Amino acid sequence: MPSDDRRPQIVIVGGGFCGAALALHLVRIAERPLAITVIEPAAELGRGIAYAGSDPVHRINIPAARMAVFRDAPDDFHRFAERIGAFASDPEGLQPNGDFYARRRLFGDYVGALLAEAVAARPHIRLAHVQAQAVGWRDGKALLDDGRLIDADALAIATGNPRPALPAAIAALAGDSRVVADPWVENATAFGRDARVLVLGTGLTMADAVATLITRGHRGAITAISRHGLRQRRKRPGPYRPEVDFAALPGDTALALLRSARQAVREAETAGGSWEDVIEALRLQGRAIWQRLRRSTTSSSSRSTEDNSSSAPGMSRGSTARRMCSPSPGAPEGEGRPRPKRSIT
Ligand SMILES: Cc1cc2nc3c(=O)[nH]c(=O)nc-3n(C[C@H](O)[C@H](O)[C@H](O)COP(=O)(O)OP(=O)(O)OC[C@H]3O[C@@H](n4cnc5c(N)ncnc54)[C@H](O)[C@@H]3O)c2cc1C
């Protein structure tokens, strides 16, 4: 598909959080006419797997005030939730300390709304959503699964992680109607209420699946298994707050960071705290630490959304970029994710 005008054309493959955030930042910063095409099979941009589901018990596992799209307005999502009345309509998400653990779908609503607003305000930018799957790259064009070719001066790949699939050891079970390979398909776990359910894995996806079952009134036994047999623990507020500025310590390698963290754990334990307090401090400083780590380590780890946006305008004709991003840089999943209210046998 040749571009219909001479404006530069940026093609973004994948319109989940990172693809939509990149498009948003491009729309906001581009001063000259620009055409942005997002290739995304889903009907809406900004959702991906994480923020598409409609199950109200699936919540973001960190407070809304830390889900940042804009570096200079880190609490924008929190204010959006308040503005549209989510605190009142979803009081379960609001904690006594004012933190709001939003339903995941709300974050997708937010990103989609930001994008729509930005496009409406910047008529010199043309944003197109092509609902298809990109399957290749040919002569400076993105090849789609329906055979179309999309011209690209620059290509950004924001395809996220692949959808869940059966592990090789049980691949032979594919096709059995009792086996759910991808729990994120809508109503994937709509079994009979008395069904005995075996969940492989005891992490956050298990917690989401079990929360869904319990909310639907499931009565049958649910057994979750994993190699270590451990479940996520609720975050407990530590009595000790390590005041270590990890990004300011000497050394810019992962090994130096590990040594500093171990030292901080020893100090925390001497002061009556625990290793968890140190990990919490590390997590909160994730962005600063990441930016300081030596460049050679950056290819396989996550980058902030802003980093994606700033790299794109500099891409040369036909160039490709692949960076990973997150709305909560430095925040591993686990914190604050609601857990099932019933014990699992
Ligand atoms: C279930 C779940 C819950 C999560 N919960 C949290 C949370 O509570 N807090 C938090 O901070 N993070 C959470 N995360 C992490 C979150 O997914 C990431 O922070 C963020 O969504 C990653 O964005 P992404 O754009 O890289 O990937 P995605 O949002 O997954 O987007 C990738 C997109 O690429 C599209 N795509 C893939 N291949 C192609 C192709 N060939 N052609 C065209 N399009 C393609 C897909 O359709 C998809 O829309 C969660 C993740 C999951 C899976």
Segment 232-260, tens digit of pLDDT = 877 665 667 778 888 888 778 889 999 99
The pLDDT value given to residue 104: 97
Task: State the average pLDDT over residues 75-96.
Answer: 96
Q: Please state, in angstroms and rounded to a whole number, the distance separating the CA atoms of residues 115 and 13.
A: 16
- What does the block give as tokens for 3? 């571009």
Q: Given the DSSP bridges, would you call strands 34-39 and 125-130 parallel, antiparallel or unpaired?
A: parallel
Distances in Å between the Cα of 79 and the Cα atoms of 37, 51, 87, 127, 321 are 29, 18, 10, 26, 32
How close is the Cα of 47 to the center of ligand 1, in Å?
7
The pLDDT value given to residue 4: 52
Alpha helices (H) in 163-274, listed in sequence order: 204-215, 254-270
The pLDDT value given to residue 317: 37
Q: Which domain holds residue 132?
A: 9-161+303-322
| Atom number, ligand 1, closest to the C-alpha of residue 205 | 1
Are 81 and 55 members of one domain? yes
Query: pLDDT: is 316 or 179 the higher one?
Result: 179
- What does the block give as tokens for 68? 């940042």
Residue 68: pLDDT over 80: yes
pTM given for the model: 0.81
Amino acid at 117: E
Query: What percentage of the chain has pLDDT greater than the value 70?
Result: 83
The pLDDT value given to residue 319: 43
- Please report whether residue 277 resides in a domain: no
Q: In a 10 Å sphere around its CB, with 0-12 CB exposed, 13-18 middle and 19+ buried, how is residue 82 labelled?
A: middle
Are 184 and 126 members of one domain? no
Q: Which residues form ligand 1's pocket by a CB distance below 6 Å?
A: 13-19, 39-42, 48-50, 60-62, 133-134, 158-160, 184, 324, 326-328, 331, 333
- Please report whether residue 174 resides in a domain: yes
| Closest listed residue to residue 251, CA positions, set 286, 281, 289 | 289
| Atom number, ligand 1, closest to the C-alpha of residue 104 | 8
How close is the Cα of 233 to the center of ligand 1, in Å?
24
Instruction: List pLDDT tens digits, range 267-323.
Output: 988 988 888 888 888 888 887 888 888 765 444 333 333 333 333 223 333 444 444
The pLDDT value given to residue 251: 79
The pLDDT value given to residue 336: 37
| Atom number, ligand 1, closest to the C-alpha of residue 42 | 47
What per-residue string of b and e applies to 96-115 under the rule 16 or more CB within 10 Å gives b?
eeeebbbbbbbbbbbbbebb
| Atom number, ligand 1, closest to the C-alpha of residue 326 | 19
How many domains does one find in the chain? 2
Q: Are 302 and 289 in contact (CB under 8 A)?
A: no
Are 61 and 113 members of one domain? yes
Nearest CA to ligand 1 atom 51: 50
Task: State the average pLDDT over residues 34-38.
Answer: 97
For the domain that residue 54 is a member of, what is the CATH number? 3.50.50
Residue 134: pLDDT over 70: yes
Residue appearing with tokens 């009595």: 239
Torsions phi, psi for 140 (to 5 deg): 75, 20
Which of the residue ranges 44-53, 65-74, 140-149 would you say has the lowest mean pLDDT? 65-74
pLDDT band at 78 (very low <50, low <70, confident <90, very high): very high
- Please report whether residue 293 resides in a domain: no
Distances in Å between the Cα of 107 and the Cα atoms of 8, 19, 86, 104, 315 are 30, 14, 11, 6, 29
Task: State the average pLDDT over residues 64-81.
Answer: 92
| Ligand 1 pocket test target in 49, 148, 284, 300 with most atoms within 8 Å of CB | 49
Nearest CA to ligand 1 atom 17: 50
The pLDDT value given to residue 5: 65
| Ligand 1 pocket test target in 11, 38, 40 with most atoms within 8 Å of CB | 40
The pLDDT value given to residue 329: 59
Are 27 and 156 members of one domain? yes
Query: pLDDT: is 340 or 34 the higher one?
Result: 34
Which of the residue ranges 11-25, 71-85, 258-272 would you say has the lowest mean pLDDT? 258-272
Nearest CA to ligand 1 atom 44: 14
Are 64 and 118 members of one domain? yes
Residue 105: pLDDT over 80: yes
- Please report whether residue 327 resides in a domain: no
How close is the Cα of 68 to the center of ligand 1, in Å?
15
Q: Which helix (H) or strand (E) holds 150?
A: strand 149-151
Instruction: List pLDDT tens digits, range 185-200.
Output: 888 888 899 999 999 9
- What does the block give as tokens for 294? 């030596």
How close is the Cα of 175 to the center of ligand 1, in Å?
25
Q: Which residues pair with 150 in a beta bridge?
A: 142
Are 32 and 129 members of one domain? yes
- Please report whether residue 106 resides in a domain: yes
Q: For the chain, state the CA radius of gyration.
A: 22
Are 14 and 146 members of one domain? yes
Which of the residue ranges 92-106, 121-135, 162-176, 288-302 would you say has the lowest mean pLDDT? 288-302
| Atom number, ligand 1, closest to the C-alpha of residue 16 | 31
Query: What percentage of the chain has pLDDT greater than the value 90?
Result: 59
pLDDT band at 74 (very low <50, low <70, confident <90, very high): confident
Structural domain ending residue among the three candidates 184, 205, 225 = 225
Task: State the average pLDDT over residues 208-226.
Answer: 95
| Atom number, ligand 1, closest to the C-alpha of residue 337 | 8
The pLDDT value given to residue 220: 96
| Atom number, ligand 1, closest to the C-alpha of residue 162 | 37
